């Protein structure tokens, strides 16, 4: 089916997340999608540059929530599952996995990223911008900051246009978001775990102030990654980069 969520299309913009923020702070509450053929200042997690080549997907979903900020953060996992659904539509599903917290991989290579931002909405609650970048037709070159090498959907299956990809993504996002709203985070966490990359494997978590090594055991109730260290203790990773 075609999602009823409205879509605003730009030929070029600084970033779809920046546009969502501007509109949210001006009073727009969504839900609405913003999509751009090109971004001049696309951003990823932790301030990294996100390159949007022509033919790739750069989109942001804007909505307003009355939930507490800690609960709103769970939308990152909702979005990750929706992106995995998109990837599985055009590439072999058995190759699609998710790396904590929200990277979509195909054959162990990164093909998408998610950036969630939020702030106080003028009418109350929080505005939430879920930025999603998916490599559909091209993989960025020359990046050294990614934990895994990049790839793109067309390398493993069909190459949808950005508009086709957004139609599939929007439908998947609404299905996953409805599950989250009705059943809570436990169902989302279980689905994420079933698609997870690296659970049970040794990994390194690079945090702002330290580096931790251990075995990735799974998600806590709030989405934090449980990491069992060599000494046997469990550390909760709530932010940082995880390398397997």
Q: Domain map of the chain by residue range? A: 7-194, 202-243
Closest CA to 90 of 26, 136, 36, 43: 136
pLDDT at res. 36 = 94
40: pLDDT strictly greater than 90: no
Res. 2 pLDDT band, cuts 50 70 90: very low
Pair 77, 188: CB distance under 8 Å? yes
Examine the pLDDT at 99 and tell me if it is beyond 70: yes
Architecture in CATH for domain 7-194: 2-Layer Sandwich (3.30)
Count Cβ atoms within 10 A of the Cβ of residue 201 and give its class: 0-12 exposed, 13-18 middle, 19 or more buried: exposed
CA distance 123 to 16: 22
Kindly state the average pLDDT of the residues 200-228.
92
- Residue of 105, 99, 118, 93 whose CA lies nearest to 17: 118
Whether residue 2 contacts residue 171, with contact meaning beta carbons closer than 8 Å, is answered with yes
Domains 7-194 and 202-243 in one fold: no
CA nearest neighbour of 113 among 98, 94, 128, 91: 98
Considering only the top CATH level, what class is 202-243?
mainly beta
Question: How much is the average pLDDT of 119-145?
Answer: 87
**Bridge partner list, 15:** none
Predicted TM-score (pTM) of this structure: 0.91
């Amino acid at each position: 089916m075609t999602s009823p969520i409205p879509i605003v299309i730009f030929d070029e913009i600084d970033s779809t997340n920046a546009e969502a923020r501007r509109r949210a702070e001006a009073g727009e509450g969504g839900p609405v999608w913003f999509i751009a053929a090109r971004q001049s200042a696309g951003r990823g997690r932790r301030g990294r540059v996100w390159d949007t080549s022509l033919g790739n997907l750069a989109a942001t979903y804007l909505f307003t929530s009355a939930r507490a900020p800690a609960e709103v953060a769970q939308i990152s996992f909702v979005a990750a599952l929706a992106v995995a659904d998109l990837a599985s539509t055009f590439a072999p599903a058995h190759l699609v996995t998710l790396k904590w917290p929200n990277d979509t991989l195909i054959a162990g290579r990164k093909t998408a990223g998610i950036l969630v931002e939020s702030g106080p909405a003028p009418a109350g609650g929080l505005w939430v911008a879920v930025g999603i970048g998916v490599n559909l037709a091209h993989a960025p070159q020359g990046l050294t900051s990614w934990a895994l090498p990049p790839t793109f959907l067309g390398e493993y299956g069909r190459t949808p246009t950005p508009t086709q990809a957004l139609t599939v993504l929007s439908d998947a996002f609404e299905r996953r978001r409805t599950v989250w709203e009705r059943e809570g985070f436990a169902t989302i966490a279980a689905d994420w775990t079933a698609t997870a990359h690296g659970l049970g494997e040794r990994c390194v978590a690079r945090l702002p102030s330290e580096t931790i090594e251990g075995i990735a055991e799974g998600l806590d109730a709030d989405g934090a990654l449980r990491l069992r260290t060599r000494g046997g203790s469990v550390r909760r990773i709530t932010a940082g980069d995880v390398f397997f």
